């Protein structure tokens, strides 16, 4: 079951992609014109943002494709793969910036403070506006949150670039441009690492963030018709689509029809209380026995 928020997420990504593509070109030109590594560092992050937003948009479209006989859940994990690609790209860009900054600390370049502050100030407006647009639709989507992380890091980068421009104007401290770019890179590495950790959690089918499997088991067991719950598994089909499977033992013998009604009620409870809309429940009239217990030795 796909997230109902995806159409609005797709629109938000398209708007933010267009704004960042235009400004990236302007920031690269400004960095070269004014000789600022901090501007080029911010532009590098914005370039990865453009790539990240493109990947995020493509991943979202793939995730919305219907299931097939070969992909019975559809391509919902595409958005997790998109987030992974974006995190790796952010790590790579951050490493390049640190390398360039170390070189500039030994041989400072002339930097235009006025140009730096002007371009970085405009970049901050674009970054903050983009972050606000994405934050309104992100929800649990790791894909959109990855794009939002890029925007947040770039907003911080723009602030650092403005600070570098002020340092150049006030104290002629051209070295601060390289230091600011390294600070941007550290933030980028930290953000990318968090995204990778969350993506790996989804790919390893770990329990989704904010959903406790024990709580789901207690919720099912609290139903008056249920005597026992076991084999509870909770994972994510996509980062914003939690799924659950469980064995539920009913307290008394019931007809198949009544058992189905019990199952439907339990699924509705999971959806309403925990946001789990994709649940598979195996209804039993007694505890199941492990196949190995009855297996005859060969």
Which of 30-34, 171-175, 227-231, 237-241 is modeled with the greatest confidence? Answer: 227-231
Q: How many CA atoms lie within 13 A of 118 on its CB side?
A: 11
Dihedral sign of CA atoms 47, 52, 58, 61 in order: negative
Domain 213-294, what fold?
Alpha-Beta Plaits (3.30.70)
Select the CATH number that applies to the domain covering 6-203 from these four: 2.170.120.12, 1.20.1510.10, 3.40.50.620, 1.10.1060.10: 1.20.1510.10
Beta strands 241-250 and 278-284 are parallel
Q: Cα Rg for the chain, rounded, in angstroms?
A: 25
Residue pair 147/16 in contact (Cβ under 8 Å)? The answer is yes
Question: In this predicted structure, what is the pLDDT of residue 4?
Answer: 46
pLDDT at 247 over 90: yes
pLDDT at 56 over 90: no
CA 277 to chain centre: 20
Dihedral sign of CA atoms 133, 139, 140, 141 in order: negative
> Whole-prediction pTM value?
0.63
> Rounded CA gap, 293 and 295, in Å?
6
pLDDT-derived band at 180 (thresholds 50, 70, 90) equals confident
48 to 192, 264, 279: CA distances (angstroms): 12, 45, 37
Mean pLDDT score, 199-228: 89
> Rounded CA gap, 186 and 153, in Å?
10
Share of the chain above pLDDT 90, in %: 15
Sheet holding 278-284, edge to edge: 226-238, 241-250, 278-284
Domain ranges of the chain: 6-203, 213-294
DSSP 8-state class, residue 63 = H
> Rounded CA gap, 173 and 275, in Å?
53
Which of 53-62, 140-149, 217-226 is modeled with the greatest confidence? Answer: 217-226
Nearest Cα to Cα of residue 127 among 25, 39, 46, 26: 46
Nearest Cα to Cα of residue 133 among 116, 120, 115, 150: 150
Nearest Cα to Cα of residue 288 among 248, 258, 261: 248
Kindly tell me the number of DSSP H helices and DSSP E strands found in the chain.
9, 3
pLDDT-derived band at 147 (thresholds 50, 70, 90) equals confident
Question: In this predicted structure, what is the pLDDT of residue 254?
Answer: 81
* Token duo for residue 54: 């493109």
If you search the block for the tokens 């506006």, which residue do you land on? 129
Question: In this predicted structure, what is the pLDDT of residue 249?
Answer: 92
Residue pair 101/266 in contact (Cβ under 8 Å)? The answer is no
CA dihedral 61, 148, 212, 1 (to 10 degrees): -10
């Amino acid at each position: 079951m796909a997230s109902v928020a995806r159409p609005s997420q797709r629109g938000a990504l398209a708007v933010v992609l267009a704004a960042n593509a235009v400004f990236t070109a302007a920031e690269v030109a400004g960095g070269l014109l004014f000789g600022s590594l901090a501007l080029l560092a911010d532009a590098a992050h914005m370039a990865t943002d453009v790539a990240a937003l493109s990947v995020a948009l493509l991943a979202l479209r793939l995730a919305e494709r219907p299931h097939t006989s070969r992909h019975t859940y559809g391509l919902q994990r595409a958005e997790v793969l998109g987030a992974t690609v974006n995190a790796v790209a952010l790590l790579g860009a951050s490493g390049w910036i640190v390398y360039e900054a170390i070189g500039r600390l030994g041989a400072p370049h002339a930097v235009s403070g006025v140009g730096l502050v002007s371009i970085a100030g405009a970049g901050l407006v674009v970054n903050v506006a983009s972050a606000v647009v994405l934050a309104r639709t992100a929800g649990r989507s790791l894909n959109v949150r990855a794009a939002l992380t890029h925007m947040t890091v770039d907003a911080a980068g723009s602030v650092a670039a403005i600070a570098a421009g002020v340092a150049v104007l006030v104290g002629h401290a051209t070295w601060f441009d390289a230091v600011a770019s390294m600070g941007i890179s550290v933030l980028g590495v930290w953000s990318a690492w968090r995204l990778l950790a969350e993506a790996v959690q989804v790919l390893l089918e770990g329990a989704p963030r904010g959903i406790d499997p024990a709580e789901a088991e207690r919720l099912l067991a609290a139903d008056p018709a249920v005597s026992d719950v076991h084999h509870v598994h909770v994972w994510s089909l996509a980062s914003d689509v939690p799924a659950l499977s469980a064995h539920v033992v009913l307290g008394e013998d019931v007809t198949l029809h009544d058992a189905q009604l019990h199952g439907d009620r339990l699924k509705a409870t999971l959806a309403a209380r925990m946001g789990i809309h994709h649940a598979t429940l195996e209804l039993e009239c007694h505890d199941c026995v492990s196949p190995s217990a009855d297996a005859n030795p060969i």
